Amino acid sequence: MSNEKAGIASTAAGGVVGAAGSVGAVAAAGSVTGLGAAGITSGLAAVGGAVGGGMAAGLAVVAAAPLAAACAGYGIFRIAKRVKKGHWG
């Protein structure tokens, strides 16, 4: 696998893991569990309430998680690449 493809794969893997975690958090956090309208609404409100907001804040937190996970995946790829080349430490 080329370096470019490996970087894309690690970034995508981070994004997928973050998205799955976000969906799971929304489904489980609310007073109504599940992924129906009531479950999503109460889950987003519960996640938003954890950061001092409401449903809109929950949406922002849930949307930011996959982005952060994708960035972490790419960062790990870049660090591993530098270590492999001997430019680290």
Q: pLDDT for 28-69, tens place per residue?
A: 998 998 889 999 999 999 999 999 999 999 999 999 989 999
Rounded to 5 degrees, what angle do the CA atoms 72, 9, 88 make?
Answer: 55
Give me the mean pLDDT over the 6-25 stretch.
89
- Token pair, residue 78, equals 């870049």
- pTM for the full model? 0.73
89 — pLDDT class (breaks 50, 70, 90): low
CB atoms within 10 A of CB 88: 10
